Amino acid sequence: MEKTGVPHVIFLPFPAQGHIKPMLNLAEILSHAGFQATFVNTEHNHHRILHNTDIHDRFPKFQFKSIPDGFPSDHLRSDLLYIRDFFRSCRVAFKPALRELLISLKEEKEPCQPPTCMIADGIMCFAIDVAEEFEISTIFFRTFSAHCLWTYFHLSKLIEEGEVPFQDENLDKPILCIPGLENVLRRRDLPGFCRTENADDPILQFFIKETSALTRGTGLILNTMNEIEGLMITRLGSFFNKVYAIGPLHALKSRINENSSSSSTSSDGILWKEDKKCLKWLDSKPSRSVLYVSFGSLINLSGEQILELLHGLVNSEKSFLWVIRPDLIVGDATIGDILKEQETGRLERGLIVSWAPQEEVLLHPAIGGFLTHSGWNSTLESIVAGVPMICWPQMADQQVNSRCVSEIWKIGFDMKDTCDRSIVEKLVRELMDNNREEMMESANKLARLARDSIEEDGSSCINLEKLIQDIKSMSSSLTQVHISG
């Protein structure tokens, strides 16, 4: 075989924006190291991306492939029910489709080399079964915090200790059986799926099995940094031969693009069309005067919740920029109906958009705070921008993240398990006025640590170089096999 040892990496994200975005950032970073990249989306998400952007212009070094997700074409695929259904069915549809894709890639003459390794999302662990058939190494990428992954590794222990399911309604009961987090987590801070009545709950068991399967990989990639999660990263080293903490990926990608004179592209608008007019609106606002509000790409809210949040924001008398997706509200209410109930003059301080270029928004000097669902991408982007947070988590890792923000890093307030206009008003005022200097000092300190991590001598850059060299070694090994064969 005349193929050279250029690494060819297959990227397999979980089919949700919060997972696709960091995986795209990672793929772009590795492409700068000379790697060939094949990015695999579901057919549905591939069509959405094509609708919202010219991916071949934005990512000219990639080849994009798509495989079916096993759902009918008219399935909405836009709510948590779809995600739960996907957990149950992904192996049925994805495994054979991924196998066929690898066969086609292996047989292709041009333009790519045979696959060197696969970087798969940490909740797509079935991929390693397929990769092993083709003698391809698998590195797993878990797209949330080290604190959260450490918690996931103790889900079985939580069940054994009788902590899950909860034995009563006291959500403030401390959790004492997770080493290193004994004085941090309460019941309400555990991942959302722990609020189950049955230890055999399929979603809980899914995450227990997926987390255990991570250890079969060659290594683990985390979108975090030693500077803020070093202790948890070290603890995770007891489960993995190699842990590559190389975050914040969006900031690392931007720095590498700047140094290589490449255009830096945000992945905010991959599945949603961005409304960039909000940046001009922010230009007209004083420094640190605007609260940014966004609850990510998956969460659904009732009309009553939207109304409570809106009243709290308006009553705080602070300017706000609020992202309300077209599919955010469940039920018969629409944002138009809700806004009609408000006095026009009371809404003059606010701007509502369907989707925003979040990285740019958070870096804008007018932004003074972030009311967030505490997804890990949003949390990292806020940390890098030095913006303190009000956390309103709803699912999965968000409960752990919000606790870290408030109790470990001291860069925000945790508003979980409440949606009351008076509390929203109080915390907005606390964040933007009463505790402004204290919060900003902590937020600026963490932002400096994040920036330090992506400098050439920073921990994330050093770990990235280790990852690059390890993938190159895999490519060299494959080349030797082909030559000897």
Q: What is the pLDDT of residues 376-404, one digit of tens each?
A: 999 999 999 999 999 999 988 999 999 99
From 20-29, 237-246, 313-322, 472-481, the region with the lowest mean pLDDT: 472-481
Q: CATH number of the domain at 277-450, please? A: 3.40.50.2000
**Contact (Cβ atoms closer than 8 angstroms) between residue 391 and residue 415:** yes
Q: Concatenate the DSSP letters of all residues of 422-478 into one string.
A: HHHHHHHHIIIIITHHHHHHHHHHHHHHHHHHTSTTSHHHHHHHHHHHHHHHHHHHH
Q: What is the mean pLDDT of residues 288-303?
A: 92
| Identity of the amino acid at 200 | D
Active site includes 482?
A: no
Q: Please give the pLDDT value at position 484.
A: 43
d(CA 94, CA 395): 25
Q: How confident is the model at residue 75 (pLDDT cuts 50, 70, 90)?
A: low
Indicate the range of 41-45, 141-145, 159-163, 363-367 predicted with least confidence. Answer: 41-45
Of 8, 19, 46, 373, catalytic? 19
Is the pLDDT at 288 greater than 90, yes or no?
Answer: yes
Res. 481: pLDDT tops 50: no
**Superfamily covering domain 8-269+452-484:** Glycogen Phosphorylase B; (3.40.50.2000)
> What does the pLDDT look like over 80-112, one tens digit per residue?
566 667 766 666 778 888 999 999 887 776 666
What pLDDT is stored for residue 329 in this prediction?
85
**Residue 331 vs residue 245, higher pLDDT:** 245
* Four-CA torsion 167, 199, 295, 56, nearest 10 degrees: 170
Q: Quickly count: other Cβ atoms within 10 Å of residue 278's Cβ.
A: 23
Q: Which helix (H) or strand (E) holds 56?
A: helix 55-58
Q: Which residue in the block uniquely carries the two structure tokens 């509502």? A: 352
Which of 143-157, 242-256, 272-286, 385-399 shows the lowest mean pLDDT across its residues?
A: 272-286
Rounded to 10°, the helix 376-385/249-259 angle is: 50
**Location of each CATH 3.40.50.2000 domain in the chain:** 8-269+452-484, 277-450
What number is the average pLDDT over the span 254-271? Answer: 67
Cβ atoms of residues 314 and 350 within 8 Å: yes
Greater pLDDT, 273 or 413: 413
Lowest mean pLDDT among 193-197, 254-258, 384-388, 425-429: 254-258
Residues 8, 44, 121, 154: which is the catalytic one?
Answer: 121
C-alpha distance from residue 464 to each of 245, 290, 456, 467 (Å): 8, 35, 10, 5
Measured in whole angstroms, how far is the alpha carbon of residue 206 from the centre of its chain?
19
Work out the mean pLDDT of the chain and round it to a whole number: 88
Q: Is the pLDDT of residue 293 over 50?
A: yes
What does the pLDDT look like over 176-197, one tens digit per residue?
A: 999 999 989 999 999 999 999 9
Confidence at 462, pLDDT banded by 50, 70, 90: very high
Angle of CA points 453, 438, 176, to nearest 5°: 70
Known catalytic residue: 51?
no
pLDDT band at 71 (very low <50, low <70, confident <90, very high): confident
Burial class of residue 358 in the structure, from the number of CB atoms within 10 Å of its CB (0-12 exposed, 13-18 middle, 19+ buried) = buried
pLDDT of residue 235: 97
Residue type at position 188: R
3-class secondary-structure state, position 414: strand
Residue ranges of the alpha helices (H) in 194-302? 202-213, 226-236, 249-259, 277-283
CA gyration radius, the chain: 22
Q: What is the dihedral of CA 282, 285, 286, 289, to 10 degrees?
A: -80
pLDDT (0 to 100) of residue 266: 59
Position of tokens 């806004």? 339
Query: Cβ distance 137 to 218 under 8 Å?
Result: yes
Percentage of residues in the chain with pLDDT exceeding 70?
Answer: 87
Q: Within 10 Å of residue 240's Cβ, how many Cβ atoms?
A: 16
181 by Cβ neighbours in 10 Å (0-12 / 13-18 / 19+) ranks as buried
- 8 Å CB contact between 143 and 113: no
Confidence of residue 43 (pLDDT cuts 50, 70, 90): confident
Other Cβ atoms closer than 10 A to 216: 12
**Residue 434 has what pLDDT?**
77
DSSP assigned state of 186: B
- pLDDT per position as a tens digit, 300-354: 898 899 999 999 999 999 999 999 988 888 877 677 767 766 655 567 889 999 9
More confident residue, 283 or 18: 283
For residue 2, the model assigns a pLDDT of 42
Question: Does pLDDT of 127 surpass 70?
Answer: yes
**Structure confidence at residue 330 (pLDDT):** 82
**pLDDT reported for residue 404:** 97
**What would the pLDDT profile of 263-278 be if each residue is shown by its tens digit?**
555 555 466 778 889 9
